[in-house]
Amino acid sequence: MPPEVLISEVGPRDGLQSVQATMPTAAKLRWIDALHAAGLREVEVASFVPAKLLPQMADAAEVVRHVLSLPGWTVMALVPNRKGAEAALRAGAHKLTLPVSASEAHSLANVRKTPLAMVDEVREVLALRDAIAPQARVEAGVSTAFGCTLQGAVPEDDVVRLAVALAEAGVDDVGLSDTTGMANPAQVRRLFQRLFAEIADRTGAAHMHNTRGLGLANCLAAYDVGVRTFDSSLGGLGGCPYAPGASGNVVTEDLVFMFEAMGVSTGVDLAKLLAARAPLQQGLPGEPLYGMTPEAGLPKGFVQELRHG
């Protein structure tokens, strides 16, 4: 039996593009190797954006090409548009993820397009994918799905309408992101239930932030209503640089501990996952890492029954 949930590690992209320092390519590859060794089966390794905007991601194509050699996992890249998608597909990424904001204010600030204009961009990416890399998957992540630091509340109908438009455009999975750390468990359950009702198995990942401490509670809420893919980052690195005051991805170590302790298999080896903090820290000296489980250690008598994919 395969693991019950998929932990999608976003640290090498979401995390590294949020910090000031640039991790050298060799250090990135050592860290990503350690993530693979821990049993992670999906990782967002890079963002295909102009190097002058995000120098931390200038080596995106090189990183993708290297980590493709590691067996049995999905190499994902974030692309903001058709141009980035072409570069990512040519580098061989298995899966593209496109952020599409449900908040018009956030969308304009982030990509200078409205949410609906972004659906057109996604359509172009899908056509390109069909033409040059039909085996690649395309995921859309609806950002600011639970609230926006610029416009405040985001109507749930707006989120569902956008998700449906993206699914109708042909996206493989549509996830929901709590970009700004404003989600609560009741809202998470409501929105994902609506997504399952509207787009069924195209409902994708829960990408939660721990800005107000609710990250794991929101993941639990999403799990309760059927979500089986969860984004998180090792050491809680990252957040969203374009949403002022927002920060704090869910910590992979704590998330994996929660599921494994519940008896929900992740396929991730907790001891090796904790060990993967060392190459991250070596590549980013002085950068603060988060996580309660790493600090407390695994509980006395805790034995993980690891289930591989």
Nearest to 68 by CA among 81, 80, 79, 77: 77
Is residue 239 within the footprint of a second copy (CB under 8 A)?
no
How far is it, in rounded angstroms, from Cα 223 to Cα 234? 20
In whole angstroms, how close is the CB of 243 to a second copy at the nearest point? 10
Is residue 208 within the footprint of a second copy (CB under 8 A)?
no
Nearer Cβ to a second copy, position 81 or 151? 151
Nearest to 126 by CA among 117, 118, 116, 137: 137
Hunting for tokens 């995106």 — which residue is that? 60
Among 20, 69, 201, 300, binds a second copy (CB under 8 A): 300
Total residues at the site for a second copy (CB under 8 A)? 45
Among 8, 17, 97, 210, binds a second copy (CB under 8 A): 210
Of 240, 258, 276, 284, the catalytic one is 240
In whole angstroms, how close is the CB of 289 to a second copy at the nearest point? 13
Is residue 211 within the footprint of a second copy (CB under 8 A)?
yes
C-alpha atoms less than 13 angstroms from C-alpha of 11 in its C-beta half-sphere: 32
Is residue 187 within the footprint of a second copy (CB under 8 A)?
yes
Is residue 180 within the footprint of a second copy (CB under 8 A)?
yes
Nearer Cβ to a second copy, position 56 or 103? 103
> Is 240 one of the catalytic residues?
yes
In whole angstroms, how close is the CB of 149 to a second copy at the nearest point? 5
In whole angstroms, how close is the CB of 137 to a second copy at the nearest point? 30
155 Cβ contact partners less than 8 Å away, ≥ 6 residues apart: none
Nearer Cβ to a second copy, position 127 or 186? 186
Is residue 184 within the footprint of a second copy (CB under 8 A)?
yes
Q: Return the residues of window 133-162 that contact a second copy according to CB under 8 A.
A: 147-153
Percentage helix, strand, coil for the chain under 3-state DSSP, each rounded to 5:
45, 15, 40
Q: Return the residues of window 242-281 that contact a second copy according to CB under 8 A.
A: 245, 247-248, 251, 254, 257-258, 261-264
Indicate the Cα dihedral angle 257, 194, 237, 259, nearest 10°.
Answer: 0
How far is it, in rounded angstroms, from Cα 221 to Cα 279? 32
* Structure tokens that stand for 209 in this block: 């932030």
How far is it, in rounded angstroms, from Cα 27 to Cα 13? 14
* Structure tokens that stand for 143 in this block: 């950002």
C-alpha atoms less than 13 angstroms from C-alpha of 150 in its C-beta half-sphere: 17
- Strands, E assignment, 57-189: 74-78, 95-101, 137-143, 173-177
In whole angstroms, how close is the CB of 9 to a second copy at the nearest point? 17
The contact set with a second copy (CB under 8 A) reads: 147-153, 180-182, 184-187, 210-214, 216-217, 219-221, 224, 245, 247-248, 251, 254, 257-258, 261-264, 291-293, 296-297, 299-302
Q: Which residues are catalytic?
A: 240
